[in-house]
């Protein structure tokens, strides 16, 4: 059974601080990793994808992948109240026909 | 439009009725997915289509649920004899290929009275 685990939260972070979201996955042989943001009442939207070990930066967002430890994280710098949402981690396993979603972490940015 | 579209956006039905939900994927995307999301819950995978391969139906909760897709175009999700526990948002997503990033439609909010 392929699994993607996330802490459900809520994670509360003060405005302007760095929010750190973590995700672990069960299968070492995984190829693709994604972070989605879902606002309440809206559908998930893709924030970042990462395929190789290391960091990938896009504006205030940085995805970090460590395949040896089987985790992927998302850092949000200079957190804003508009970042308050649920963040979903998704993993593409080479042995599976589809990507697997975690249950999401609720992030709350307090002014 | 460039994105995934779904219709209707809202559907209210009576218990026992059949409903049909539609998804238009992004042009050229070979993979199409249906998910269910109950209020305050995570995504629940229902079914997945990849090109002309047999669909992965492993997530369908009962035989009241079925879905079709013609080629790489529109898909319809049908729920027969709806029950109150079917009330949820039904999301469709498409991707270029399986294991690529998925792009979601706005969803259909189904309410079964």
- A48-96 pLDDT, tens digit each: 999 999 999 999 999 999 999 999 999 999 999 999 999 999 998 766 6
CB of B101 within 8 A of CB of B95? Answer: yes
C-alpha span between B94 and A36 (Å, rounded) = 14
Q: Which helix (H) or strand (E) segment is B48 a member of? A: strand B44-50
pLDDT at B1 over 60: no
pLDDT in tens, A3-51: 899 988 899 999 999 999 999 998 777 789 999 999 999 999 999 999 9
- Among A26-30, A73-77, B11-15, B93-97, which stretch is predicted with the lowest mean pLDDT? A26-30
C-alpha span between B80 and A18 (Å, rounded) = 47
Which residues in chain A have Cβ-Cβ distances shorter than 8 Å to B89? 43
Token pair of B77 as six digits = 């999700």
pLDDT of A95 reads 65
Residues 6+ apart with CB under 8 A from A108: A9, A10, A11, A12, A13, A84
Asked if B43 and A44 come within 8 Å (Cβ–Cβ), the reply is yes
Shortest alpha-carbon distance between residue B95 and chain A (Å): 10
Interface test with B, best of A44, A46, A104 (most B CBs within 10 A): A44
Residue B108: CB atoms within 10 Å: 21
Shortest alpha-carbon distance between residue B35 and chain A (Å): 11
pLDDT of B90 reads 98
For residue B36, what pLDDT band results from cuts at 50, 70 and 90? Answer: very high
pLDDT of B88 reads 97
* Nearest residue of A to residue B91, measured between CA atoms: A43
Asked if B43 and A101 come within 8 Å (Cβ–Cβ), the reply is yes
| Residue A80 CA neighbour count, 13 Å, CB half | 4
The CA-based diameter of chain A, rounded to the nearest angstrom, is 44
Q: Which residue has the tokens 């995504």?
A: B43
Asked if A32 and B99 come within 8 Å (Cβ–Cβ), the reply is yes
Chain B residues near any Cβ of chain A (below 8 Å): 31, 33, 41-43, 45, 48, 50, 56, 89, 91, 98-107
Cis peptide before A10 (omega within 30 of 0): yes
């Amino acid at each position: 059974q392929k699994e993607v685990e996330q802490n459900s939260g809520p994670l509360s972070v003060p405005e302007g601080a760095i929010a750190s979201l973590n995700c672990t996955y069960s299968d070492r042989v995984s190829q693709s990793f994604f972070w989605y943001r879902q606002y309440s009442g809206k559908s998930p939207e893709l924030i970042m994808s990462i395929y190789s070990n290391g960091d990938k930066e896009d504006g205030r967002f940085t995805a970090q992948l460590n395949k040896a430890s089987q985790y992927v994280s998302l850092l949000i710098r200079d957190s804003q109240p508009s970042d308050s949402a649920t963040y979903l981690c998704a993993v593409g396993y080479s042995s599976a026909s589809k990507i697997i979603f975690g249950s999401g972490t609720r992030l709350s940015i307090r002014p | 439009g460039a994105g995934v579209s779904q219709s209707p956006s809202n559907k209210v039905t009576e218990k026992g009725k059949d409903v049909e939900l539609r998804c238009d994927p992004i042009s050229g995307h070979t993979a199409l997915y249906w998910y269910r999301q109950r209020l305050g819950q995570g995504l629940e995978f229902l079914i997945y289509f990849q090109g002309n391969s047999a669909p992965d139906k492993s997530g369908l909760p009962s035989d009241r649920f079925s879905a079709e897709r013609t080629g790489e175009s529109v898909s319809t999700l049908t729920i027969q004899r709806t029950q109150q526990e079917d009330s949820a948002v039904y999301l469709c997503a498409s991707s270029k290929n399986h294991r690529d990033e998925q792009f979601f439609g706005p969803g259909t909010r189904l309410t079964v009275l």
